[in-house]
Chain A
Amino acid sequence: MLTYIARRLLLLPVVLFGVSIFIFGVMSFLSPYELVSTYIKSPEELKNQSLDALVEKYGLNDPWHLRYIRWLGNVLHGNLGYSESANMYVLDAIKQRFPASLELALFAVVPVVFGGIWLGVVSAVHHNRLLDHATRIFAIIGWSLPSFVAGILALMFFYGYLGWFPPGRLSAWAHEIIASGGFRQYTGMNTIDAILNWNWPIFWDAVRHLVAPTITLAWLWWAFILRITRSSMLDVLNKDYVTTARAKGLPERLVINRHAKRNAMIPVTTVAGLMVLGLLGGMAITETVFDYKGIGLLTVQGAQQLDYTLVLGTALFYGVLLVIGNLVVDVLYAIIDPRVRLE
């Protein structure tokens, strides 16, 4: 297994090189005066701007391969460049924004996976009955709903109507405590940092801000897990060993939980692992609606603004994340299902 892991990790630089060349190649079709839109975001900002001076200042008229070599040289020295859209160095932007998204993804994954599995099992057990249809319709509505609609609905209900779960990551008072130096940020994940600081008001405040986006994400993703669990369960429920268990006279609950569900969970685990990666990359809209400043929002804003420094940086980061994430899933799969061996 170690050889397998090492081999996969050795592939990482190749993947990253490919990703960066691809993005630079695509960007090479843009003229310097298109790229300068990163610095001038609207007609209103054209006041007395010398576009030529900006193009010259940021070296945008250099051939793309020269810009690539310059960029690569900086990357090898640990500098991913400065992002105009994030207003900070790309590495800092990733370091600061990724923990926020990771925290949301980790919070979301619990209701998504357990809720989805539960719904899938209920659906399979009540195959083709009213509960099955109702469950699937509920989940499919979530899956079909544009995420900004689901997000705005959740925000209006939980925040606008009930006044419970505000947007953002923390309340103003909590930000002030952090800015005043009374709170140390170890991980960038507010809930974990609050525990490490033993600051329970900030912990609960962070949780309060996570609930609405978590519910939104859960509703959006339930159908995904539900369908896999349901088909996997239906498949397992027809197996001989399940029939045997029933024939032995075991209560149905035990048949489902001990014999059927455990085996049905193998494909679900694989998918759930990949889903965490999917969640990390696919939360941009939810992050926008809830003003949750995560890496998804950062990447989308950078791309909209043709901020190629940021796009490259985040693409590399996602590259690393995907390679390592896939590797972890493969390893987990081998551990869960002893029939699979990584050689």
Chain B
Amino acid sequence: MRFKLYIAVVSALLLLALGVPALAAATDPKTFVFVTFGDVDSLDPAYAYDTASGEVIHQLYDNLVAYEGGSLDKIIPMLATQVPSKANGLISQDGLTVKFPIRKGVKFHNGDVLTPADVEYTFERAMLADPAGGPVWMFFEPLLGVQTLREVIAKAGGPGVDAKDFDAKKLDAKVVQKVYDIIDKTVEVEGDYVVFHLAKPYPAFLQILAKGGSWSSIVNKKWMVENGAWDGKATTWPKWYDQAKEEMTLYQKAMGTGPFRLLTWDRNAGQIILKRFDDYWRGPAKLETVFIKYVEEANTRMLMLQTGEADAAVIQQQYLDQIRNVKGIVVKEHLPYIGNTALLFNYTIPVQGNEDIVGSGKLDGNGVPPDFFADIHVRKAFNYAFDYETYIKEVAMGAGSKPYGPAPAVLPFVNKNRPWYSFDLKKAEEEFKQAFGGELWKKGFKLTILYNTGNEQRKTAAEILEANIESINPKFKIDVQGMQWSTYLSKLRASALPVFFMGWHMDFPDAHNFYMPYMHSAGAFAGYTGQGMVDLAKAKFDALIEQAISTYDNAKRQELYYKLQDLAYEYAVAVFYIEPEEHRVYRDWVKGVVYNPAYSANYDFYTIYKEVR
């Protein structure tokens, strides 16, 4: 009897539950649900440096200039009314001054009107805040020729960059003022114009400022100051220098001029709700509400898309087969991606405490010597021993192409007549025979290649090398081992990994953004590739990389980047093995999708609308 009652209660409950409209969002043409994974790190443009944060910031703010549609080379005005060039006189002939006429009548979400002072404040505030690990280096490099505010502080007479227990709040008042003066001079208001003063001509400066780069989003000075951000005074900035992200004013708030305003970032529910900004200067968006939901489980995301609860979802490549032919779902594949993945070499491998990876640390067949990869023949042999085609076809499931070198093929100044190494075990053997004057071939080596656990594609790449190299000479032994990310990171920091995988996704679409990390002695990876690589870079690459980013002459730039591409090949600086491709998955009622590989966002919701049947 009781059981029957229980069944009755449950049935009633189910029936009632079913009465609620399940897919209200999907059938509403004004509401868009985008399901992705990961989480936003911060909504502050001066801090955010990840794609999840960039996705949201993209919808909330505008930049001075933008790319036209999906193009990378056509830049159009946005909050500036003209795109600076030497032809229109907004870039000075020496290339050191770049002027932007600021658009009038543009409103922020609270109704305040945009002024040139907001633009000046945006960049000065970001540089004086310079959060560790953030994107602000992109302003420092063109404007001051440095990477961090610490370098500016040192220049102004403050503690050196390596000074321990550095505390900006304890800086001498004169240093504080001098640092401010240096920063203040880089961006200035002249009537209706904002003028940037560059340390050297920097042809990628417009790309750094363009829409897609969340760091260059223009903020509202008055609102910022009212909400506890830097007050704009010369003497107070240390209070806001390198704050913890959660203490930064824009961490979870937003006040931009973009097509959507932030209704809520509900970290508990794992979602962001955006509402249309009706006073948007380009006219209101077609969508009224956008939900960005963070769902970790891939199966759940796929089901949400299939049921129509989600309009678009991030589905990784390995799951695409499951939805490729599902009715009502659009899968756009083979979209360009400005990035690549490489296996990098450590030219000076430490031995002490690293025996589990390098064995004996000698050229005796039981390990590798510290200068193993300093020998150019070893590097070339590794390049010949990688089966690029099989990897791209079988492991990456066809979603990628073979690189030409450090810079992705979609960028200008890539010489497509200079292909990268091809899989050729005979040539690999020849190179190995020449390495270390023939000693390596006689004695053999033993090496461990590590990958961060969970990254199956990198594991397989290492196994491809293992199988091919071991087949060349039975005295060559490679062991592939997974390592927890935290331990892997600490090994990288100690430059202890003989070879390591690294992917680079562009910050701005310019070849410089790739030659710098891969080949410059001060690049992002230089710290992990050992002193040997640093010395090589200083001797052969640095000057060319710096020349190539210091001229607006495209013919000259092309010549220099072609030369660098040749050098990358000649010195076999890394195994560049794939330029991955992108894809987008959404329902067939979603229209107006514009894909631009320079966007940090998956979607620009401003152009999107729904045609729900």
Q: Among A82, A205, A293, which residue has the most Cβ atoms of chain B within 10 A? A: A293
Indicate which residue in A50, A82, A171 contacts B22 across the interface (CB closer than 8 Å). A171
Cα A47 to Cα B600 with chains together (Å): 14
Q: How many A-B residue pairs have CB under 8 A?
A: 172
Whether A43 contacts B502 by the Cβ 8 Å rule is yes
Q: Is the interface of B mostly helix, strand, loop or mixed?
A: mixed
Say yes or no: is A36 at the interface (Cβ < 8 Å to chain B): yes
Q: Tell yes or no: A271 within 8 A of B by CB.
A: no
| Cβ-defined contact, B49 with A47, below 8 A | yes
Is A54 located at the chain interface by the 8 A CB criterion? Answer: yes
B273 lies within 8 A of chain A by Cβ: yes
B538 at the interface (CB under 8 A from A): no
Contact (Cβ within 8 A) A42 B485? yes
Contact A293 B269 (CB under 8 A): yes
User: In the assembled complex, how far is the CB of residue B51 from the closest CB belonging to chain A, in whole angstroms?
Assistant: 9
Partner of B490, one of A34, A49, A53, A163: A34
CB-CB contacts below 8 Å: B351-403 with A: none
* CB-based contact B524/A46 at 8 Å: yes
A288 to B6, CA, bound (A): 29
Chain B hits for A34, CB < 8 A: 486-487, 489-490
A110 to chain B, nearest CB (A): 9
By the criterion CB–CB under 8 Å, are A164 and B485 in contact? no
A46-74 toward B: CB 8 Å interface, digit per residue (1/0)?
A: 11111101101100000000000000000
One of A134-142, A173-181, A314-322, A332-340 contacting the partner: A173-181
CB distance from A166 to the nearest CB of B (A): 6
B263 lies within 8 A of A31 (CB):
no
Known A-B contacts A155-B303, A180-B263; A47 and B489 likewise in contact (beta carbons under 8 Å): no
In the assembled complex, A168 has its CB within 8 A of some CB on chain B: yes
Contact call B269/A169, Cβ cutoff below 8 A: yes
A263-303 toward B: CB 8 Å interface, digit per residue (1/0)? Answer: 00000000000000000000000001111010001000000
Binds A, one of B171-179, B293-301, B427-435, B555-563: B293-301
Query: Of A30, A89, A204, A297, which contacts B20 at CB under 8 A?
Result: A204
Q: Is the pair B486, A306 in contact by a Cβ cutoff of 8 Å?
A: yes
A86 contacts the other chain (Cβ, under 8 Å)? yes
CA distance A97 to B266 in the complex (A): 12
Q: Is the CB of B133 within 8 A of A49?
A: yes
Mostly, the A contact residues are helix
Question: Is the CB–CB distance between B132 and A163 below 8 Å?
Answer: no
Please give the distance in Å from B489's CB to the nearest CB on chain A: 5
Interface size class for chain A? 35 or more
Given contacts A57-B132, A293-B269, contact A160 B306 (CB under 8 A): yes
B residues with a Cβ closer than 8 A to A are 3, 6, 13-14, 16-25, 31, 33, 39-41, 49-50, 132-133, 135, 137, 147-148, 166, 242, 244, 246, 263-264, 266-271, 273, 289, 291, 293, 295-297, 299-300, 303-304, 306-307, 309, 452, 485-487, 489-490, 492-494, 501-505, 507, 517, 524
Q: A89-B246, A204-B17 are in contact. List 19 more A-B contacts (CB 8 A).
A: A34-B486, A46-B492, A47-B507, A49-B524, A50-B132, A50-B148, A53-B133, A56-B166, A100-B268, A114-B6, A152-B299, A160-B303, A164-B18, A166-B22, A172-B33, A211-B17, A290-B300, A291-B270, A293-B269
Sample (17) of A-B pairs whose CB atoms are under 8 Å apart:
A30-B486, A33-B490, A40-B133, A45-B49, A87-B246, A88-B267, A96-B268, A155-B300, A166-B22, A171-B22, A172-B31, A172-B293, A179-B264, A201-B20, A204-B19, A208-B20, A211-B13
Question: A interface vs B, CB < 8 Å?
Answer: 30-31, 33-37, 39-51, 53-54, 56-57, 82, 86-89, 96-97, 100, 114, 118, 152, 155-156, 159-160, 163-173, 175-176, 179-180, 201, 204-205, 207-208, 211, 288-291, 293, 297, 306
